[in-house]
Amino acid sequence: MRAIRAISIFLLLLTIARGEDPQLKGPGLTIGLISEDQTITADTPFTVGLHIHHLPGFHTYWKNPGLVGMETSLKWTLPPGFTASEISWPFPEKTFMSQYPCHGYERDVTLLVTITPPTTIPDSSVTLSAEAAWMCCAKGCFPGFQTVKITLPVAEVAVKNPEASALIKKSLGEIPKATHALKCTLLSAPEASMIQMQIEGLKKQSLTNFYFFSSDRQVSSDQTQTVTRNAEGAVILSVPRSEYSPKGHTTLPGILSTGSENFAIEAAPAKK
C-alpha cells in the first residue's frame, strides 16, 4: 500500500508541475484489495477490504450517495465453495459534488467483506477477484472500473498480514454499531411528506453537528435537517422525505452522527 500511495503522490506532483488543475483530472484515487490473512485455512472466515486512497479534494460515495453520485460496488468471482458477504460500510461524511451535497468519503477508507471458504480447499492457493465500480469526484467526476484480485496460499494455520490487518482494524472501528442505549421512535406516519424521529438516551450535548444519513434513501442529501430537543430532553429530528423515497417502508434505518460519535439506528413507530 505504501508503494501505491507513493505513485499517487508522484502523479499529483507531476500534474501540478504541468500547470493543470489536479481536481479536474481523474482518476482521483488509487484502489486495491487487501486481506487480513496472508495464508488462509478451510472453513475459517476472514476479512478482505477494498482500500481506497483519495487524492486531495476527491471523494467516493457511501451506499446511499444522496442527491448525486454512485456508490462503490463489488461483483465477486470466487473459487468453488467460497462466499462473500455484503460490504460493511464505515461511517460516511457530508461532502459536495460541485455545489451539490452528497454522502461519501474524503478520507482514505476500507470497505470490508467477509469471505467464507468451504470445508475443504483442494488447491494450494486461491485467487479472489472482484469487478470494482465507483465514481470519484472533485471539480469533475470520473467513473472507474477495475478488476481487483488477490492470491492467497492455503495452509493449516492462518497467518495474519500485519499492514493489512491494521487497515482492516481501523475500518472495523469506523463501522457504526447498534446500541440499546438509544431509543429511536418514528413519530410520522409511513410515507408522510415530513419525517419526524425522536431519539432518547443521548447526552446533553450541542446539536450543531447532528446529522442523519438515511441508508435506504428515504432522506436525500439535499434536504435541510432540523434538530431540536423537546421538554423531556429527547432529540427531535425533522426532515422532508425524498421525492425518490422507496415505497412501503415502515421503519427508518440509517446512521446518526453527533459530530463525535456514529450510531447505527432504525426508528420504528411507537408500540400501541
Q: What percent of the chain has pLDDT over 70?
A: 93
pLDDT, one tens digit per residue, over 196-245 is: 999 999 888 789 999 999 999 999 999 999 999 999 999 999 999 999 99
Residue listed under C-alpha cell 418514528: 186
Section 142-157 average pLDDT: 96
20 pLDDT higher than 80: no
pLDDT of residue 271: 80
Alpha helices in 40-119 (DSSP H): none
Nearest to 36 by CA among 151, 154, 169, 148: 169
Residue listed under C-alpha cell 423515497: 245
Residue listed under C-alpha cell 477508507: 109
Share in percent of the chain as helix, strand, coil (round to 5) = 10, 45, 45
Cα(135)–Cα(141) distance, integer angstroms: 7
The dihedrals phi and psi of 227, each to the nearest 5 degrees, come to -125, 125
What integer best gives the mean pLDDT of the chain? 91
pLDDT, one tens digit per residue, over 54-67 is: 999 999 999 999 99
Cα(27)–Cα(29) distance, integer angstroms: 6
Which of 2.60.120, 1.10.600, 2.60.40, 3.30.70 is the CATH number of 177-269? 2.60.40
Cα(43)–Cα(50) distance, integer angstroms: 22
What is the chain's alpha carbon radius of gyration, rounded to the nearest angstrom? Answer: 21
Fold match flag (2-172 vs 177-269): yes
What lies within 8 Å, CB to CB, of 17 at 6+ separation is none
Section 71-90 average pLDDT: 98
3 pLDDT higher than 60: no
pLDDT of residue 14: 45
Nearest to 124 by CA among 157, 153, 82, 158: 153
Domain ranges of the chain: 2-172, 177-269
- Distances from the Cα of 209 to the Cαs of 224, 257, 262, in angstroms? 13, 8, 11
Count Cα neighbours of 196 within 13 Å in the Cβ-side half-sphere.
Answer: 10
pLDDT of residue 2: 45
Range in 2-16, 18-32, 149-163, 205-219 with the lowest mean pLDDT: 2-16
4 pLDDT higher than 80: no
Which residues on neighbouring strands pair with residue 197, listed in sequence order? 186, 237
Confidence of residue 7 (pLDDT cuts 50, 70, 90): very low
19 pLDDT higher than 70: no
Q: What is the pTM (predicted TM-score) of this model?
A: 0.89
18 pLDDT higher than 90: no
Cα(117)–Cα(40) distance, integer angstroms: 9
Cα(186)–Cα(234) distance, integer angstroms: 13
The dihedrals phi and psi of 120, each to the nearest 5 degrees, come to -135, 145
Which of 3.40.50.1100, 2.60.40.1250, 3.40.50.2020, 2.40.128.20 is the CATH number of 2-172? 2.60.40.1250
pLDDT, one tens digit per residue, over 119-137 is: 999 999 999 999 999 999 9
Section 99-109 average pLDDT: 96
pLDDT, one tens digit per residue, over 155-189 is: 999 999 999 999 999 999 999 999 888 999 999 99
Q: What percent of the chain has pLDDT over 90?
A: 83
Confidence of residue 151 (pLDDT cuts 50, 70, 90): very high
End-to-end CA distance of the chain: 54
pLDDT of residue 264: 97
CA dihedral of residues 54, 77, 66, 233 (deg, nearest 10): -90
Let me know: does 115 contact 86? Beta carbons within 8 Å. no
